[in-house]
């Protein structure tokens, strides 16, 4: 964590988008092709500030930056759908190339490789499933200490990576847990993650008039405005003031360690907006919270160092801070410094998570971790403030029922309508549907009309 004084939960929504539809036009006898994930998520409308930061921090050309956002949307869709199809054999997915044009999907079952290649992805046959490696990581988490501060599943190497700050620390951890060393890659590091402790995403706020953190993403809960942020920034009841030192609100709930998530309810003087503070202070619009895959670009906004970009390295990472272990965070190459804690991570227009902690700085570079946003929304029943999230009134009397049947694997934009269980629902924030997230089960995503 990265903290000025210091102190979130669960799993993330599946990564973005639909498979790119075929290039042929619809005929008189065929239904119109479904929009691609890139079209649904409107990657072509990415703000100039986002593209400029990607060019600066990722070394991209303008064309590569635009192509990367589109490719990442399609790759995320393909990876999510293949994960559902492959089941227990799924072993992870990642993108490569300056424009993220190559998606690789790993499986433990040789019979799956043809189906993977049929989607346009590369297939990699490995010996260990993602679920199996996750179980190994979880066992290591229970015994890890400060000398092995970071542990994560690396799909590229098909191993669990354990970072150690002292020689032999990882070996001792493996021995204590009975973990097969062949399933683990040990990496020596001198970095020790710490909390970045210190209603637009990335703006500063102050806790009890002293320590500073950063707003993650503005949200609403009923008629209450507020924002999601890091749990280590404050406990329930901690009062906050805004970037202008005006009284702002208070923490309603907070989890840390274990996870690193919290939300703050603001008073009537503050209104949630669908923006993150981008390069030069420009507003970057938020249109949904579709999680992106390993290798995808991601940018961060914080009140200390502003706007910086990098790539997603691993999801489902566990980190042991001095205050305890947190699990389910995402590891990135984005830099951050104290006071950036709680701030926004965004890919294109899709909210990803809030800054938890890391190591290094924005002068020499570093590694940071973010708490995925969707678990925060789900745990506290929050609605992400997004552009275009107000779909207007439902159908009038006698009008035909809109939409169609809800389906797992489909990307839904804010305002889309579906039917499920005989009722009609309207999407309130963009996401890719997955089994278990049926409309009646996730009021943060669907509103009954």
Residues 200 and 267: their CA atoms lie apart, in Å, by 15
Max avg pLDDT among 34-43, 253-262, 373-382: 253-262
End-to-end Cα distance, the chain: 41
Distances (CA, A) of 406 to 115, 303, 417, 422, 426: 24, 40, 9, 11, 11
Sign of the C-alpha dihedral, residues 195, 198, 202, 205? positive
Average pLDDT over the chain reads 86
Q: What is the pLDDT of residue 31?
A: 53
Question: Cβ neighbours of residue 111 under 8 Å, at least 6 residues apart?
Answer: none
The residue-averaged pLDDT of 144-154 equals 95
**Least trusted range by pLDDT, from 14-23, 43-52, 436-445:** 14-23
DSSP state of 164: E
39-51 core/surface letters (b: 16 or more CB in 10 A; e: else):
bbbbbeebbebbb
Structure token digits, residue 251: 């923490």
If phi > 0 it is left, if psi is from -120 to 50 it is alpha, else beta; for residue 10 that is left
- pLDDT greater than 50 at residue 17: no
Q: Write down the pTM of the prediction.
A: 0.75
Residues 341 and 357: their CA atoms lie apart, in Å, by 7
Residues 121 and 193: their CA atoms lie apart, in Å, by 35
Q: What is the pLDDT of residue 69?
A: 96
- pLDDT greater than 70 at residue 342: yes
At 19-71, the pLDDT tens digits run: 222 223 334 455 556 678 899 888 999 989 899 999 999 999 999 999 999 99
DSSP state of 294: B
- pLDDT greater than 50 at residue 91: yes
pLDDT band at 415 (very low <50, low <70, confident <90, very high): confident
pLDDT band at 428 (very low <50, low <70, confident <90, very high): confident
- Is residue 198 within 8 A of residue 341, CB to CB? The reply is yes
Q: Which long-range contacts (CB under 8 A, 24 or more apart) does 55-64 make?
A: 56/309, 57/299, 57/308, 57/309, 57/310, 57/334, 58/98, 58/297, 58/309, 58/310, 58/311, 59/98, 60/98, 60/99, 63/99, 64/98, 64/99
Q: What is the pLDDT of residue 378?
A: 86
At 161-190, the pLDDT tens digits run: 999 999 999 999 999 999 999 999 999 998
- Is residue 308 within 8 A of residue 300, CB to CB? The reply is yes
- Is residue 432 within 8 A of residue 76, CB to CB? The reply is yes
Residues 298 and 351: their CA atoms lie apart, in Å, by 9
Q: Which of these, 438, 414, 437, 436, lies nearest to 427 by C-alpha position?
A: 414
The H or E element containing residue 261 is strand 261-266
Catalytic residues: 232, 260, 341
DSSP state of 97: S
Residues 137 and 411: their CA atoms lie apart, in Å, by 30
């Amino acid at each position: 964590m990265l903290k000025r004084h210091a102190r979130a939960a669960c799993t993330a929504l599946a990564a973005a988008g639909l498979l790119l539809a075929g290039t042929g036009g619809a005929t008189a006898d065929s239904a119109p092709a479904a929009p691609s994930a890139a079209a649904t998520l409107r990657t072509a409308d990415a703000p100039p500030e986002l593209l400029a930061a990607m060019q600066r921090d990722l070394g991209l050309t303008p064309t590569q930056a635009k192509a990367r956002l589109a490719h990442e949307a399609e790759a995320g869709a393909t990876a999510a759908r293949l994960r559902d199809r492959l089941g227990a054999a799924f072993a992870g997915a990642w993108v490569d190339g300056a424009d993220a044009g190559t998606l690789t999907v790993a499986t433990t079952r040789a019979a799956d490789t043809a189906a993977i290649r049929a989607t346009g992805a590369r297939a990699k046959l490995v010996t260990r499933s993602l679920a199996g490696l996750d179980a190994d990581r979880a066992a290591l988490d229970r015994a890890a200490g400060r000398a092995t501060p970071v542990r994560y599943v690396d799909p590229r190497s098909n191993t669990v990576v354990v970072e150690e700050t002292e020689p032999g620390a990882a070996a001792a951890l493996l021995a204590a847990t009975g973990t097969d060393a062949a399933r683990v890659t040990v990496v020596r590091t001198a970095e020790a993650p710490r909390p970045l402790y210190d209603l637009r995403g990335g703006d500063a706020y102050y806790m009890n008039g002293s320590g500073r953190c950063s707003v993650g993403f503005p949200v609403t809960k009923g008629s209450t405005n507020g924002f999601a942020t890091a749990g280590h920034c404050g406990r329930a009841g901690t009062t906050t003031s805004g970037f202008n030192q005006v009284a702002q609100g208070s923490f309603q709930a907070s989890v840390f360690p274990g996870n690193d998530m919290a939300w703050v309810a603001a008073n009537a003087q503050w209104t949630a907006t669908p923006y993150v503070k981008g390069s030069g202070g420009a507003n970057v619009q938020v249109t949904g919270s579709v999680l992106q895959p390993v290798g995808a670009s991601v940018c961060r906004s914080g009140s200390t160092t502003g706007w910086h970009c990098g790539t997603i390295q691993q999801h489902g990472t566990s980190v042991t801070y001095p205050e305890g272990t947190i699990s389910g965070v995402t590891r990135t190459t984005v830099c951050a410094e104290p006071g950036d804690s709680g701030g926004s991570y965004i890919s294109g227009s899709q909210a990803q998570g809030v800054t938890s902690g890391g190591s290094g700085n924005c002068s020499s570079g570093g590694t940071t971790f973010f708490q995925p946003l969707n678990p925060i929304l789900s745990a506290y029943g929050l609605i992400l403030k997004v552009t275009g999230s107000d779909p207007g009134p439902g159908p009038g009397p006698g009008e035909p029922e809109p939409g169609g049947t809800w389906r797992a694997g489909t990307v839904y934009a804010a305002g889309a309508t579906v039917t499920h269980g005989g009722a009609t629902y309207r999407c309130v924030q963009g996401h890719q549907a997955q089994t278990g997230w049926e409309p009646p089960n996730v009021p943060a995503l669907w509103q009954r009309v």
